Amino acid sequence: MKQIRIHGRGGQGVVTAAELTAISAFNDGHEAQAFPSFGVERTGAPIEAFARIDDKPIRTREHVYHPDILIVQDASVMTTVDVSHGCTEKTIAIINTSLPKNAIKLSIPEKNIFPIDATKIALDILGRNIVNTIILGAIAKSTKIITLDSIKKAVKQKFSAKGQELVDKNIKAVVKAYNL
């Protein structure tokens, strides 16, 4: 089983990122689960969301305490939340930051840290600092647990009710992150 923990702030699409990860994995033929850590549902509050991917039905409902993949959608939460708690030497971390690798203070081996300036891509393509789809592209690139095609399909499933333009922009953002 692969376990994913996503940190960020309410309103940044953290929960949607976990859901899209699970939908993508399900599209790839895996069993998947995604759920939020139920923070107070208000913009700005630090929140967590989780996803699990496995080849057999997923029964456990506990939070993800030892993530295989750690995602930080907003680097500023790292000043108030110990995002790397429970991470192991094998944990892969994808951090949304404009800073270089060696400037990221995390108790994870540097080779496993993948910084990405997702905010810049989001502002360029989406016009808003909502980075979840960009992070998805980064997950597919650095971990291979989900495929680019399944992400595109998941984005369509999730956003089609909000219009074709939003779907197209988000797919463009995913591809941009994947090809970085």
Partner 1 sequence: MPQKKSKRQILEGSQAIAQTINNIRPAVISAYPITPQTHIVEDLAKLKADGKAKYEYVRAESEFAAASIVEGASATGLRTYTATSSQGILLMAEVIYNIAGMRLPVVLTCANRGVSAPITIWNDHQDAMSIRDAGWIMFFAENHQEALEQHLLAYKIAEKKKIPAMVNIDGFVLTHTYEGVEVPSIAEIKKFLPDYKPKQGEYLDTAKPVTFGAFASPAYYMEIRHELHEDLRDCQNDILGEYENLKKLVPSAIKKSEDKALVNNGLIEYYGPKNPKVVLIAMGSLVGTVKDAVDHLNIRRNVKHYISNKSVGVLKIKTFRPFPAKSVLAVIKKAKYVAVIEKAVSLGATDAPLAMDIKAYAKNKIKTKIQSYIAGLGGRDITQKMISKIVTDVQNKDDKMKFVG
Partner 2 sequence: MKITAQAGSTTKNKTGGWRTYIPVTDYNKCIGCGRCAKVCPENAVKMVLKNGKQKPMTDFDYCKGCGLCAVECPVKCIKMELDKK
Among residues 7 and 95, whose Cβ is nearest to partner 1? Answer: 7
Which option in partner 1, partner 2, none does residue 34 bind, with CB closer than 5 to 8 A by kind? partner 1
**Which residue ranges make up the site for partner 2 (CB under 8 A)?**
9, 43-44, 74-77, 79-80, 96-99, 119-120, 123, 129
Question: Is residue 22 near partner 1 by the rule CB under 8 A?
Answer: yes
Question: Is residue 48 near partner 1 by the rule CB under 8 A?
Answer: no
Contacts 24+ apart (CB under 8 A), 170-176: 170/126, 170/133, 171/133, 172/125, 173/121, 173/122, 173/125, 173/126, 173/133, 173/134, 173/137, 174/133, 174/134, 174/136, 174/137, 174/140, 174/148, 175/137, 175/148, 176/121, 176/125, 176/134, 176/137
Contact segment (CB under 8 A) with partner 1 among 57-65, 77-85, 127-135, 138-146 equals 57-65
Question: Is residue 31 near partner 1 by the rule CB under 8 A?
Answer: yes
Q: What is residue 68's three-state secondary structure? A: coil
Q: What is the DSSP string of 35-60?
A: EE----SSTTSEEEEEEEEESS----
Binding residue (CB under 8 A) for partner 1 from 4, 6, 17, 23? 23
Question: Is residue 58 near partner 1 by the rule CB under 8 A?
Answer: yes
Among residues 37 and 143, whose Cβ is nearest to partner 1? Answer: 37
Among residues 98 and 107, whose Cβ is nearest to partner 2? Answer: 98
Which parts of this chain interact with partner 1 (CB under 8 A)?
A: 15, 18-19, 22-23, 26, 31-36, 38, 40-41, 57-63, 65
